[in-house]
Amino acid sequence: MLFLILAVASSSLIAVAMRATEEKRRSAMGMFVVNYLVCSVLSCLFAGRIALYAPLPGFYRAMALGSITGALYLLNFVLYRLNIEKNGMAMASTFMKLGVVISTLIAVVVFREVPSLLQVLGIVLAAASILMIHTDTGGEGASSGRWLLPLLLVLGGITDSMANVFDKTGDTAVRDYYLFYIFAAAFAISLLLLFFKRERIGRWEVISGILIGVPNYFSSRFLLLSLGSLPAVIVYPAVSVGTIAAVSLSGFLLFKESLSRRKLLAMAVIALALVLLNI
């Protein structure tokens, strides 16, 4: 349970750091390059060495799964940005968060994790709370790229599920190497994109990248540790809705963002969903 709480806290800090620096940085890709570099360095420190190779069982599986996951991270980011442009922030955020349904279904169908009836109700309430919060915008968004929304949902769910794939098929002895290859692959691809877009990394890209990179690394680490001690059908919905609640509360307390009646009701639904998921 402690790792689950720390995963939610780390994920929330990513959103807070992005919100706090959004008006000062000029290059989103530059921020992500620094972010993934920081994550790669932290992965090396926890591995105890430069994490390019380790003569341990399961290393090549960790390298392959990590590299695939890192590429999916970047692809998810690009698709999310495209959905914001085509369909608006509200719809893009809604379908990205609803990817938790896909990752939960994968846990049930592929890994035979069977939730209780109360946990199923908790999952349904979690999905409902996501819809309640992310559609509270007064009709934002265009309709020129609606087909991109289900693609984002499916890709986001598959990306999240990669941690569960490693947890079920990988070796915990190479967990830090798996994390290293996630972030090293994402760093390499984002660096190439930065080069082709001819964007530059300035002071605020470095600052925001560091502020985001530290909690980003630990959110992935604590997610893996949570999956090692709790079923994925509990971990994914709990982290998703817990992060939404924490980010909404942080926005209200730190950035004076308003909490509508719908958001307050959704947060009450989130609290109930979290209780049901942990029964």
Distance CA 266, CA 248 (A): 10
Distance CA 23, CA 14 (A): 16
Look at residue 278 and tell me whether its pLDDT is greater than 60: no
Q: What is the dihedral of CA 99, 102, 106, 112, to 10 degrees?
A: 110
Distances (CA, A) of 214 to 26, 39, 202, 221: 20, 7, 19, 11
Look at residue 118 and tell me whether its pLDDT is greater than 70: yes
Distance CA 97, CA 130 (A): 7
Q: Which residues contact 50 (CB under 8 A, 6 or more apart)?
A: 44
Look at residue 140 and tell me whether its pLDDT is greater than 60: no
What is the reported pLDDT for 142?
44
Classify 214 as helix, strand or coil: helix
- Residue 93: CB atoms within 10 A of its CB come to 20
Region 41-45: what's the mean pLDDT?
90
Domain edges within the chain: 2-277
Model's pTM, two decimal places? 0.81
Which of the four pLDDT bands, split at 50, 70 and 90, describes residue 265?
A: confident
Residue 139, both tokens: 């009709």
